[in-house]
Structure 1
Amino acid sequence: QMPVSSPTRDSTDRASHRKEPNVKGRIEFSVQGHTLSGITVCPISEGNSDFNTGENSCKTGLYLCKA
């Protein structure tokens, strides 16, 4: 199973006042000692915002994980 982190922000924090997207969860593509090759993530809804988290580029929306 792919771990999905729990929500890290809510709509009342200061980040939301800076118009940052409200992060609902994050898919982690690796687990210590394992790789998840062959897993693809397909968007199933239009995202409304792009943002970066360090080295990662992210887009809001709903995604479907397929093996």
Structure 2
Amino acid sequence: MAVTAAKSVMAFRVLTMAVDLCRLTTRTMNVNAGHERTSKARIIHQIQLIRGITPTRRSLPVG
């Protein structure tokens, strides 16, 4: 049960970060360009860290 809850929390965090990254990327006004670059880098780094600790699912060979 705890593992399922942890996976749900992790998935929600990744989704939230992806939405934040999308908002930063699609913003039309470039007022705080330096801050936006820093935010993008931070979000991308966090997503990469999470992807690194979550096992990838591979298909089992048929036959």
Higher strand share: 1
TM-score by length of structure 1 reads: 0.27
Task: Give the structure with higher Rg (CA).
Answer: 2
Higher helix share: 2
Give the structure, 1 or 2, with the largest relative contact order (CA under 8 Å, sep 6 or more): 2
TM-score by length of structure 2 reads: 0.28
